[in-house]
Amino acid sequence: MATDSAQEGPSSFFGKLRQRLNKGKSWLSGNIGSLLEHPLDDATLEELEEQLILADVGVEAAAWVTDELRKRNKAKDASPTQQLRTAVANLLEPLAEPLVIDRGKQPFIILVLGVNGAGKTTSIGKLAQHFQQQGFSTLLAAGDTFRAAAVEQLQEWGKRVNAPVITQAPGADPAAVIFDALGAARARDIDIVIADTAGRLHTAAGLMDELDKIKRVIGRFDASAPHETLLVLDASQGQNALVQARQFHAKVGLTGLALTKLDGSAKGGIALAIAKAMPMPIRFIGVGEGVDDFNVFDADEFAAALIGADEPDTQS
């Protein structure tokens, strides 16, 4: 049974997120904060738009947010900070669509993709614990057969979260490893299989083709699978993360994103950029290397942490 904080709902996680996002430096502590001390006139809004772009929000989302503020400002019913927070939360809300495990799929298959070092393997460990705390059994497939160390790393996570790991020798065909794992999961009545893959650059055509093959092979096991194709994105890569998301999506078709390393120098604005440029559910966020440094994405909580509020908004 679970006793970890990851199970305790968004509010207990909020403190960690607020403290760690962009190393605790919220928008209020920087130039955006100074701008919000003034009434939101045209000149201030223009400057705010620029500052938002610098915070990784991206051109489209920055324009959307400042337009919202321009409209809202006429009502003058809330402080500039509160208005910004509401606009950000509204923009992010459609992305806050948690991954729901369809119990009719046995096993439910989650394929995890991303560039090297994005945090795939770590997120898989965290995910396994997350779902086990909800009462699902999980099995991990070591589909990153590129390096022996990658297999060992997943095995370590398997031990830590008490999930079986199906592996083959380094160099094995990743599609075959995953196919094996699916058979093993069915034989053992496992609820969820989470499949790791080798990191690949979104620009490497050969490796991107390999993902196609992995998906096809999974589809042979269950025509409705993979049930989730999850791209792990390192949030500290800013706008480049968005480029990766677009290319992975074009090539294999994604159903969700996990944003990792929000505890680093990531400014967090990338979530807003995603909302405008490539709307796609952000299923999970990672704020550290530990198994509990992880939670489902909550728009109000994220907006509050970005802006530097002491607690998430409860009224929306």
Ligand X SMILES: Nc1nc2c(ncn2[C@@H]2O[C@H](COP(=O)(O)OP(=O)(O)O)[C@@H](O)[C@H]2O)c(=O)[nH]1
Residue with tokens 């034989």: 187
Angle at CA 79, nearest 5°, toward 76 and 80? 95
Q: Which partner in Mg ion, ligand X, none is near 88 (CB below 5 to 8 A by kind)?
A: none
Residue ranges of alpha helices (H) inside 142-222 are 148-161, 174-187, 205-221
Q: How far apart are CA 255 and CA 281, in angstroms?
A: 7
Piece in contact with Mg ion (CB under 5 A), picked from 49-57, 120-128, 238-246, 308-316:
120-128
Quick check: 287 binds ligand X (CB under 6 A)?
A: yes
Radius of gyration for the alpha carbons in the chain, expressed in angstroms and rounded: 20
| Residue 200: CA count within 13 A, CB half-sphere | 25
Q: How far apart are CA 182 and CA 177, in angstroms?
A: 9
Give 296's strand partners. 284
Q: ω before 80 within 30° of 0 (cis)? A: no
Q: Which partner in Mg ion, ligand X, none is near 158 (CB below 5 to 8 A by kind)?
A: none
Quick check: 260 binds Mg ion (CB under 5 A)?
A: no
Using alpha carbons, select from 88, 84, 87, 96 the residue that is nearest to residue 37. Answer: 84
Residue with tokens 């460990």: 125
Of 16 and 120, CB closest to ligand X: 120
Piece in contact with ligand X (CB under 6 A), picked from 38-46, 85-93, 116-124, 164-172:
116-124
Given 107, 158, 174, 199, the residue binding ligand X (CB under 6 A)? 199
Q: Helix, strand or coil for residue 216?
A: helix
Of 20 and 72, CB closest to ligand X: 20
Name the minimum Å distance from CB 284 to ligand X: 10
Piece in contact with ligand X (CB under 6 A), picked from 3-11, 57-65, 73-81, 288-296:
288-296
Piece in contact with ligand X (CB under 6 A), picked from 28-36, 56-64, 165-173, 283-291:
283-291
Name the minimum Å distance from CB 119 to Mg ion: 8
**Strands of the sheet with 192-195, listed across from one edge:** 165-166, 138-141, 192-195, 108-113, 228-234, 256-260, 282-286, 294-296
Name the minimum Å distance from CB 45 to ligand X: 33
Q: Are 261 and 288 in contact (CB under 8 A)?
A: no
Piece in contact with ligand X (CB under 6 A), picked from 36-44, 62-70, 83-91, 287-295:
287-295
Piece in contact with Mg ion (CB under 5 A), picked from 28-36, 56-64, 113-121, 283-291:
113-121
Given 45, 264, 278, 313, the residue binding ligand X (CB under 6 A)? 264
Quick check: 197 binds ligand X (CB under 6 A)?
A: no
Using alpha carbons, select from 145, 73, 143 the residue that is nearest to residue 109. Answer: 143
Residue nearest to ligand X (CB): 286
CA 204 to chain centre: 22
Quick check: 295 binds ligand X (CB under 6 A)?
A: no
Q: Are 275 and 58 in contact (CB under 8 A)?
A: no
Given 26, 51, 86, 121, the residue binding Mg ion (CB under 5 A)? 121
Given 18, 72, 85, 120, the residue binding ligand X (CB under 6 A)? 120
Quick check: 17 binds ligand X (CB under 6 A)?
A: no
Given 116, 203, 265, 316, the residue binding ligand X (CB under 6 A)? 116
Quick check: 145 binds Mg ion (CB under 5 A)?
A: no
Give 234's strand partners. 260
- Binding interface with ligand X (CB under 6 A): 114, 116-122, 199, 232, 260-261, 263-264, 286-289, 293
